[in-house]
Every structure is written in structure tokens, then in C-alpha cells.
Amino acid sequence: MSADARKPVNQAGTANSKLAALNTWVAEVAALTRPDTIHWCDGSDAENDALIAQMLADGTLLKLNEKTHPDSWLHRSHPDDVARVEHLTFVCTTAQDDAGPNNHWMAPAEAHAKVDALFDGCMAGRTLYVIPYCMGPIDSPLSRCGVEITDSPYVVANMRIMTRMGAAALARIEKEGSFVRGLHSIGELDPDRRLIMHFPEELTIKSYGSGYGGNALLGKKCHALRIASHQARNEGWLAEHMLILGIENPQGETHYIAAAFPSACGKTNLAMLIPPEGYRNAGWKVWTVGDDICWMRPGADGRLYAINPEAGFFGVAPGTSAKSNPNALATIQHDTIFTNVGLTADDQPWWEGLGNGQQPATDWRGNPYDPEKGPAAHPNSRFTVSAKQCPSYSPMAEDPQGVPISAIVFGGRRPSLVPLVFEARDWTHGVLIGAAMGSETTAAATGAVGVMRRDPMAMKPFCGYNFADYFGHWLSFDTSGAKLPKIFHVNWFRKGDDGSFLWPGFGDNLRVLEWMIGRVKGEAHAVETPIGHLPTGADLNLDGIDLSDEAEAKLFGFEREGWQAEFASIGDYLDGYGPRMPQALKDEQRRIVAALEKG
């Protein structure tokens, strides 16, 4: 499996095959980075066992308690390498306007020269790993392949969980002859020598100086969102930062919903939702297709069909508990890689919010835990685990054709103004809702309350091209014969005058999703307002929930003056993208402003 770094290696063994371009690229990278050896990853158990043993020997991984967490490991990253680095992340298109004001831009020639200077000789003394992978089911026409070259065995182990990696992916690459190229090195883990470069026009990624997941697992945000969003625009589909869940009613009918939320808005919790007891007893079930990324394409019947391009979860550990997300907690009890969590005295993983009655002995840096020196687990500590281990995992996640999407949901953290749920009047209105979504900041975070940070479709850090063009691409799906999903907006985080949340959230969110499905089927009632169709409290099943008069008024109410200010702000936001902003969105904003002024 290893070879002299100076010689191109072809795992298929035929110099004239469609893998020639891959072999040439690997040889070019090897000449630049000068590794000691090259290893082509086949994704086998034996290969993984050998990598785990190697990382245990050199301290990259620590074995966790085999009785409580069998076949699970802890990785501690460098203290300066614990999250995505947006200010060092670039989209490198020929024309700067194509990257848009939503991205940091650098000219491709300059970007290649700058990052290649860092890659020069960086793998000396190391192994170069070639990771062929497929985003999505191997046999799905919606899937796309890539190859990541890395010098990190930790990346290899994680990519094996997060993608369909190895021999089957290489076979598909050989069949298709195309793939996304991703070059990664941990370098010196120096924050001043760290760059994450995307070249959408070349289907290429170059990441240097970080071992953190979002910067190093190139199949994830780099490929599945930044590069794929560009691919999707060219090929007529959508690559979105969305969960996918299935809701099965007592009659055995399943509707699939895709939902986009900014960080800290309960995305994974919704993807793995457990119905309230009354719903469970009645026969309702929730199925998890994906918790983070959704690729959607129009089907022959005019509906949008979606796959989860990932095979695993790369979830945030802190806050995950038997109360907040029992399915997630059950998922990570075995065969899991934990990153930057704390440890108990008997080597069990621990993080703030776990709530299991135990206490940490060691913090995420490996030091004795001292609460005065910070949390035991880093706030962005993670777990990497196969999606198939989730109790609510849907077998439809492997369906090559994807699942038909009945509804698309946008949402943010809005303590004021925005009601619990409303429905867009049509597709254009829905795109505007997605374009304008965001969250309000708090005094603890920024020193100012209610500052709106808009995060369109939750794609602000991940869209690989100009947002104005991206909104136009969304609008382009509204064609004759299209049977598009209904679009909704939710807000689980509305607060009362005393600062407490008005909606219980978690499993009770199914009550809102049930209303959405009723709207999709033409069975549920709603009140028409200038901002969209709203339910009344009587339109939702609120059995077992005791809402105050204030909660009823604010969760299901419509505040005209507040919305007038909101839509004025939305108009300014759209104008900020200049002449590329689709006129249809600006017209829709003006239509709603006019409706709000009518009183």
C-alpha cells in the first residue's frame, strides 16, 4: 500500500485508465510536498486498525474506557486549532464579483502561489495519504466524488466515518473520470501559516496549517458546501446547509423536511427529534436522514429529491445530554472519535451539559481540571460517528434516488418579533424568507441586544459564490411543472417579558412540524398576514402544553410596526449586494412593505 514518494502510484494498475489524471496529480503533489511514503487508502477494517494503532502509539489518540465506550478514542488538537477560521478561508474565482461580498477573495494565481509556498516540502518525514471518497451513496446519481491528499492519519480516520471512502469510491472515480481535488497538510499548526483556499472553477481545495475538522476534513464544508454549491449552480441542483428528517404519521405516511438553521439553533436536536409521549403512543415516528448537509435535485415528477452527502455526524458535544438529545447520546456510546472533550478519572468522555452525575478529572488540554481555568470540554469539542449508529437513522438515507422533500424550513434565534411559525405565500416569498433569516445577538455576546446578524439559508460561511447569484439560482427552480416544497420559517426562541422562552422546544417541535405537513396536504388552517400564513393556537395540537396568554399572543401573533422596521432592514440588506441582486426578490420585499403599510 506504500510506495516511493517519487513514483506515481495507480491502485487500479493501468497507466492508460481514467485514473491517469489522478496519478499525475498525486505525483505532482508528492514532488511538491516530498513525503517519505505514499499510502492509497482502501477504507478497509485492517487499514483503519493499523492507523488507530499508529495514532495510539504516537499519542494522537487516547483510548477511552472500553467497558463504557468500546472502540472509542479521544483526540486533543493544538490549543490554537479548535475551530473553523473564516478570516483565513478564501474563495478564489477569476472575477472577484463571482465570489461576492459574502466571501473573502483572492485571485487564483496569487492564491496558488501563496499556499503552494507553504506546501513546499511540508510532508518530509511523513506519509502522504490518498483518500478517494464519495459524498452520498456510492450508486446515487446525486452523489459526487473527491480525493483528499493529507498527511494526517486523524483526518483519514475521520473521513472514513464521514464519507464513503476507499476502494468503492475509487472505482466510481475511475468510471466517471472526474473528482474534486483536495490537498491538505497540518503543516506546523501555526496560526500565522494557515490558509483554506477554494478554487470553484477548478474544483480544487487547498488547506494548510490546521488539523481541525471543518478545515481538514475536506469532504465536509469545503467540498459538500463551498465547492458543491458552485457545482450545483452549474448543474441545476442545490447544495445546502440543512438537516433532513422524515416524519411518519400513524397512517404510515412519511413526509421529509429539509431545514436550515444558523449555529446554536438546535439543528442536530431537530434532526434526531423524539416525539412527545402522546405522539409516540399514537404511532408517530421521526427518522433521521441527515443532520447538517442536504443536496437536492428536481426529479422527473417535478419534486425536489434530497440526499445527505455525509455518512456520519461531526457534532458538537457540549450540551448533548439524555434530556436535550437522547438519540445523539445513544449514537456516541461506541465506535466514536471524540475531539477536545474532558475526561473522567476512569477515562470516560465528559463535557458541560452532559448531566450524567460524573465529574471531569482532566480538561480538553490534558491538564487536571480546574473550573477557574475554563471548561473541561472546549465549547467546540466534537464527536465523529457513523450515522448508522443513530437509533432514529433512516434506511432511506442510502436510497440512491434520495427522498422527496415536502417542506423546507428556515429559522433563527429571535427572542422578539418573529412568531413560532409562518408559511411563505409562494416560492419567491420563501426565498426571500431564507435570504433574510438570521439571529439576534445578546448583551453577553456583543454588548448590544437585538443586533441582527443575517445568515441567508444558514449558508453565510459556506456559499461558494456571490449570494446575489445564489438567490437567483434558488428562484430558477420555480418553473412550469415544478412541484416545489412549501417553505416555512420557525422560531423556537421567542421570549417573554421576563426573558424566559415561551415555547418548550425539543420534542414538542413536532407539533409545529405536524401543522406544516397539514398545510402541505391542504388540511391545516392558517391566517393570512402580510408576512405569510400563520396558525392560531387552535391550529396546533397543544395537548399537554400549558401556554400563558402572553405566550399565545407572541407565539401566534403578528406585530405590524415591528415587521415594518424588519422589512425596511431587509430592503437595505438586499441593496448591499448591488446590481446582481435579483429584481424578483426586491419586488417581493416591496410588495410586503406595501402590504404592511395598508394597515
Binding-site sequence positions for substrate: 84, 212-214, 263, 380-382
The total number of residues written for the chain in this structure: 599
Q: Where are the alpha helices (DSSP H) in 294-362?
A: 326-331
H/E/C letters for each residue in 521-542?
Answer: CCCCCCEEECCEEECCHHHCCC
Query: What is the CB neighbour count within 10 angstroms for residue 249?
Result: 15
Distance CA 477, CA 482 (A): 7
Catalytic residue selected from 92, 134, 265, 463: 265
DSSP 484: P
Sorted by sequence, the CB contacts under 8 Å of residue 12 that are 6+ apart come out as: 19, 170, 174
Cα dihedral across residues 154, 157, 162, 167: positive or negative: positive
Distance CA 593, CA 356 (A): 50
Active site residue 265: yes
Q: Which of 181, 189, 192, 184 is nearest to 216 (CA)?
A: 184
Q: Which of 540, 542, 507, 545 is nearest to 286 (CA)?
A: 507
Q: Which amino acid is present at 392?
A: S
Sorted by sequence, the CB contacts under 8 Å of residue 232 that are 6+ apart come out as: 238, 239, 295, 473
Q: Are 566 and 504 in contact (CB under 8 A)?
A: no
Q: Which amino acid is present at 104?
A: H
Residues annotated within the binding site for GTP are 264-269, 382, 413, 506-509
Residues annotated within the binding site for Mn(2+) are 221, 241, 292
Distance CA 32, CA 122 (A): 8
Longest dimension (CA), the chain: 76
Residues annotated within the binding site are 84, 212-214, 221, 241, 263-269, 292, 380-382, 413, 506-509
Distance CA 250, CA 281 (A): 9
Q: Are 149 and 302 in contact (CB under 8 A)?
A: no
Annotated catalytic residues are: 265
